[in-house]
Amino acid sequence: MPHITVDDGAQIFYRDWGSGGSPVLLSHGWPLNSDAWEAAARFLAENGHRAVAHDRRGHGRSTQTWHGNEMDTYADDLARLVEALDLRDLTLVGHSTGGGEVVRYLARHGSSRVAKLVLVSAVPPLMVRTDDNPEGLPAQVFDDMRAAEAADRSQLYRDLADGPFFGHNRNGDVSRGFRDAFWSQGTACGHRAAYECIAAFSATDFREDLRGIDVPTLVVHGDDDQIVPFAVGGQRSAAMVPGATLTVYEGSGHALPDTDRERLHADLLAFVES
Active-site amino acid positions: 96, 225, 254
Q: Where are the alpha helices (DSSP H) in 116-233?
A: 139-162, 168-171, 176-187, 191-203, 207-211
Residues 38, 94, 154, 224: what is their CA dihedral angle, to the nearest 10 degrees? -110
Q: What's the CA gap between 122 and 240, in Å, rounded?
A: 14
Tell me phi and psi for residue 204, to 5 degrees.
-75, 130
Q: Are strands 50-54 and 90-95 parallel, antiparallel or unpaired?
A: unpaired
Residue type, 259: T
Q: How far is CA 218 from its chain centroid? A: 14
The answer to whether the CB of 71 falls within 8 A of the CB of 204 is yes
CA distance 104 to 54: 16
